[in-house]
Chain A
Amino acid sequence: MAESNVKVLGTWASPFVMRVKIALHLKSVLYEDVEEDLLAPKSELLLKSNPVYKKIPVFFHAHSPICESLIILQYIDEVWTTSASSILPSDPYERSQSRFWAAYVDDKFFPALRRLLIGATEEDKKAALAEVVEGTVVLEGAFGELSKGKAFFGGDNIGFVDIALGSLLGWIEVIGKQCETKLVSEAKTPRLVQWADCFSAHEAVKDVLPDVDKLADFGLKLRAKILKGLAPTN
């Protein structure tokens, strides 16, 4: 169904933006893609539509802009309600588990991944790597619980947790290559390895997967920008 007033302010490199696009693809909602350059100063549109965090993605539909990717996902799920493409499960307990694990990805796993990317010293990187690997093992366990033998965290089809974690796969590969380690390994997380392939091949995902070499190049530039910003100015 074509919706002329749906816009996503984001960037091709952001996993958080990717989440929103996957959700819209699942719901067959057409949208306008507005690209924000993360290496340039923030645009007027971004500063105006997300004054609190000044971050992408920002989602535009009907009323006020909506920020924070997991909040946007729930909004999309609640507005475009075809049960065939439900992002969250219908059972309240299963919903709470999906929310829990998506929050784990954002609150625990992603920060460790980010520390691994921007780690300034060998010690920082070593500590971050240990955390990331531990996180993958925890998520392997969660996959076992939530998937109930099916291909995705969401069961037969991709859902909230699949989107939350799957959107990080590009960065996981880039950062892994940088550290010369497979972060999602056959040895420790065989089910996640399989899941990653299924996820990446999914109809709603494959067209928004970033090119890994392009992402690696972007990662270097982003890391430099972040480290410059963190450097003490006094």
Chain B
Amino acid sequence: MATNEVKVLGSWPSPYAIRPRIALNLKSLTYEYIEEKLWEGKSELLLQSNPVYKKIPVLIHGDNKPICESLIIVQYIDEAWSSGPSILPSDPCERAVARFWAAYLDDKWFPAVKSIGVAKGEEAKKAAIAQVEEGLALMEEAYDKCSKGKGYFGGDEVGYLDIAFGSFLGWLRVTEKFNAMKLLDEGKTPGLVKWADRFCSHAAVKDVMPDTDKLAEFGKFVIAKIRAAGAAAEMH
């Protein structure tokens, strides 16, 4: 039935595109996944359904309801299919905490992770790494408080903050690989180390998490492109 069809426009290396897919899987919903090869140019469907940002992911529900911005999509999935398992906590305070940390990861933490790869010079790189580690310490504390001894930020089941944070694990592992360092560490973030394994092997997650080696190859390609663009800009 066209009115109930769900399409997700995504791109396999994008952590943001993983999020709606995990949410749909948690709700046992079927959907059509459409891969955008962003490095080859944006499709008509993408430009039409997300004219403001022209970015993936986009969820298209039925004939005419495009929803953009990954965390907004996850909340939409939770609310439109309210009979399935809950993604956001039910308590307003816990919801606020989950939203706060998800926003922190998007606004502060992941940009710091990305900046490690393109940092100019040792000083800048060290500063970026320090920011990432500081964030992980905060998330370890948040995990302790939110999980209340259970396996996930969401408690017994994968929830909003698990999805928000877990979707970054692929790139976090690539960053560890490229810099020969451990960012998630048994000594400093023991809770998160176990949580990460648990999350990645979850039924709703394992088929949408990209393979770390494949992601690393892609990462080299992106970093080279960014560096080339930076060098070109400096030549003017």
Binding site for B on A (CB under 8 A): 52, 62-64, 66-68, 71-72, 74-75, 78-79, 92-93, 95-96, 99-100, 103-104, 138
Taken residue by residue from 45 to 80, chain B's Cβ proximity to chain A (1 for < 8 Å, 0 otherwise) reads as: 000000010000000010001011100110110011
Given contacts A62-B93, A95-B79, A96-B75, contact A103 B69 (CB under 8 A): yes
Residue of B nearest to A103 (CB): B69
Please give, as numbers and ranges, the residues of chain B lying within 8 Å of A95 by CB-CB distance.
Answer: 75-76, 79
Q: Return chain A residues, CB-CB under 8 Å to B79.
A: 92, 95
On whether A96 and B92 interact (CB within 8 A), knowing A52-B138, A68-B103, A71-B103, the answer reads: no
B96 touches which one: A52, A71, A92, A138 (CB < 8 A)? A71
Q: How far is the CA of A72 from the CA of B97 in the complex (A)?
A: 10
Residue pair B100, A67 in contact (C-beta under 8 Å): yes
In the A-B complex, list the 7 residue pairs whose CB atoms are closest, starting with the nearest. Answer: A92-B79, A78-B92, A92-B80, A96-B76, A75-B96, A99-B72, A96-B67
Q: Which residue of A lies closest to B61 (CB)?
A: A93
Question: In whole angstroms, how far apart are the Cα atoms of A52 and B96 in the complex?
Answer: 15
Do the beta carbons of B93 and A138 come within 8 Å of each other? no
Tell me whether chain A's interface is mostly helix, strand or loop, or mixed.
Answer: helix
Shortest CB distance A90–B (Å) = 10
User: For chain B, what secondary structure do more than half of its interface residues adopt (helix, strand, loop), or is it mixed?
Assistant: helix
With A92-B76, A95-B76, A138-B52 known as contacts, the answer to whether A63 contacts B69 (CB < 8 A) is no
Show 23 A/B contacts (Cβ-Cβ < 8 Å), sorted by A. Answer: A52-B138, A62-B93, A63-B93, A64-B97, A66-B93, A66-B100, A68-B99, A68-B103, A71-B99, A71-B100, A74-B99, A92-B79, A93-B65, A93-B67, A93-B76, A93-B80, A95-B79, A96-B67, A96-B76, A99-B75, A100-B68, A103-B69, A138-B52
Q: Does B95 contact A (CB under 8 A)?
A: yes
* Number of B positions contacting A (CB below 8 A): 22
In the assembled complex, which residues on chain A have CB atoms less than 8 Å from the CB atom of B178? none
Q: Which residues of B contact A99 (CB under 8 A)?
A: 69, 72, 75
Contact call A75/B76, Cβ cutoff below 8 A: no
Q: Min CB distance, A181 to chain B, in Å?
A: 24
Measured CB to CB, the nearest residue on chain A to B90 is A78
Q: How far is the CB of A218 from chain B (nearest CB, A)?
A: 26
Residue of A nearest to B79 (CB): A92
How distant is A3 from chain B, measured CB to nearest CB, in Å?
A: 14
CA gap between A104 and B138 in the complex, in Å: 27
Is B218 an interface residue, CB under 8 A from the partner? Answer: no
A99 to B68, CA, bound (A): 10
